[in-house]
Structure 1
């Protein structure tokens, strides 16, 4: 399977908790402006495809395309459609492909959503975050719950699937506040809901306020309780967990995100976007300044593919594209050992679980049974599946298994 991710780094304003690679300026220079952004990404597609061909990487048609951000819907709908058309011309898109964009609820209306649907999009993920006004204010979100409901109604009318994202653990959010948000999301009638624990980065406005003592520090026990509340309410509503932070009705799982957790190949486009190639020839040296000669060399260490990451700043990213260079800040080979570790970390996040026989004697039956005895996993058909407790203590499981391998 092959996926395409397109990062749109622009936002109307920067939320106080956000640590993503986003910018509020309209024009970052070197062609990286809101009005010209689609053209720049389309040019990057051609450069990446040429790099793939030069290194013998032949991908199938894209099974999913995902526009993330930032706020993709800050751009004109026609720009998103043009980039999607370019993916189709560059790699091809499978007939049953999942085509998603994230959306800030206050940046779309019915006409915008219809234009996306007419252009080939079939899924939209709304950043709801909360249904409680004071929590939205703490998160610096500008939309209202009514914006979310209107967006979902527009998506339904256009024949698109909808998902909503929630964040729990914001300073000042009570357990009842969180229940209100989850129940409101359920009542919207969507078939997919994501719920993420708030991560506080020290370099954000919220991080600085917490450090200064003007906002309370999020509490791990509070977040664990809120996770349990979400799992209970969502399961009762018929949405089952399929990844630690994601619940869906059967058949409505995010195929794009499942691809990440299954470690498939994907091409990431846009400032700061990451790419991953399982079948790539080994990369033995970091990407040089001119972005060439990435593959080869005398190192014979066994590898299991390649990961790379685009230059984060839009101006420098645009400069590389204008010079005809693949706009990577760096790349690295994935050793067989690293691939094994990633297989464990990713496999233990999803409901389908981790195939335990693939490790042979490196992880003993006793180790798996100890994890099962501790209530962290269940063993089903030679697959280890995290329990609710195991989802809350996922890092503990992974640490134990990696120590066993080490």
Structure 2
């Protein structure tokens, strides 16, 4: 798959809404359950204040993508979303063709709310379906059924021109035949984009405890590889090639916001636990905000922002990030850009060895990329190149 590489670097804004109806047992994202409800008006004021502060450090940028993630942003009132988007537009120039994505869970999807999000300025949604099997959904701690998930997809299709949904595979007890059937059903529902993630066991989650005690058995490496290869085969045949290790799209339908991350462009992180990469005076800053929502709220009200990390990245760190993120893409990385960032070229001997092993290849445009066969061992390839 060939992607069009923009001549000018993009600028994105990520907004994190940290609240969920429940905490899934596999999730290590910054998400929190608040049974007593959330004072959305107070949080809106804090989001607008932090937007103002970060925008002052990134003047002159044109916002090309906005992503409202979580958590479960579809629990927000459309008026809340609209206020945040208006705040972004007040402090930055927003491109006429800006991509505005909002994450949603099927349990919080209703046609009226989706129409409200559309009216507020959202033009793309990403649904956390996670499985098209009721037993698996229950094991994953999801609150929706397959029927509810497909209804949510249908609502998204009726309201938005662009939508995507996520599935998790390599689940306990999942066979290749079962996954193939589930994936083909998903493709039939997907218009242009699917995010397909292998289940990973993250520390400090209930799944980690169960897995360590032997009560949760995940596919071994051979079966996981078979499921990965099957995913590539079925999606490729359907015209949804992998443009990133876990993301599949028709040509031109890639998530522009996620490309901002993977291509090493700038993005502002707004909200509890949001990360950012912004540039000032020729230096690149890594930012991160306080994760705990109430603590973030108090910090913003006191200081105008919730930043707890605001560090200048070294040339080596910038280059390593570009390598790590860029090699996730089917388009790969530009070796000349890597050299400009790091001050040294990539090791041609290492590239030659990895190429001989079938792990990397050079495109006709001169980009270095990981081969599809080597994507499952991406971390090892990156570590070898970065050494």
TM-score > 0.5 by shorter chain: yes
TM normalised by structure 1 equals 0.87
Deviation of the 1:105 alpha carbon: 1.1
List runs of 5+ in structure 2 lacking aligned partners. 1-9
**1 CA distance for matches of 2:277 and 2:325?**
14
Determine the structure 2 residue equivalent to 1:4: 13
Q: Is the 8 A contact 1:117 1:160 kept in 2?
A: no
Cα distance, 1:358–1:69 mapped onto 2, change above 3 Å: closer
Establish whether residue 383 from structure 1 lines up as the match of residue 367 from structure 2: yes
Post-superposition offset of 1:158: 2.0
Residues 169/59 of structure 1: CA separation in 2 closer, same or farther (3 Å cut): farther
Q: Given the alignment of the two structures, is residue 347 of structure 1 paired with residue 306 of structure 2, yes or no?
A: no
Tell whether 2:47 aligns with 1:41. Answer: yes
Instruction: Give the CA deviation at 1:174.
Output: 2.4
Q: Which moved more, 1:96-105 or 1:178-187?
A: 178-187
In the TM superposition, 1:126-275 aligns within 5 A as 126-275=127-276
SS in 2 for 1:97: strand
Aligned length: 373
RMSD over aligned CA atoms reads: 1.9
> What is the CA-CA distance between 1:353 and the residue it aligns to?
1.3
Aligned 8 A contact 2:275 2:286 in 1: yes
Runs of 4+ in 1 over 6 A off after TM superposition: none
* 1:397 to 2:376 alignment: no
Matched, 1:13 2:19: no
**Aligned pair partner of 1:25 in 22, 34, 41:** 34
Question: How far apart, CA to CA, are the structure 2 residues paired with 1:96 and 1:273?
Answer: 24
Contact 2:327 2:370 in 1 (8 A): yes
Deviations 1:160-210 (A, max 9, x none): 311011111222222233223311210103210011121212311221222
Q: CA offsets per residue over residues 133-171 of structure 1, 9 Å max, x none?
A: 111111111112222322222222224311011111222
What is the DSSP-based 3-state SS (H/G/I as helix, E as strand, rest coil) of the residue aligned with 1:118?
A: helix
Q: By how many angstroms is 1:312 displaced?
A: 0.7
* Gap runs ≥5 in structure 1: 283-303
Q: Which moved more, 1:35-44 or 1:17-26?
A: 35-44
Distance in 2 (CA, whole Å) between partners of 1:179 and 1:35 is 45
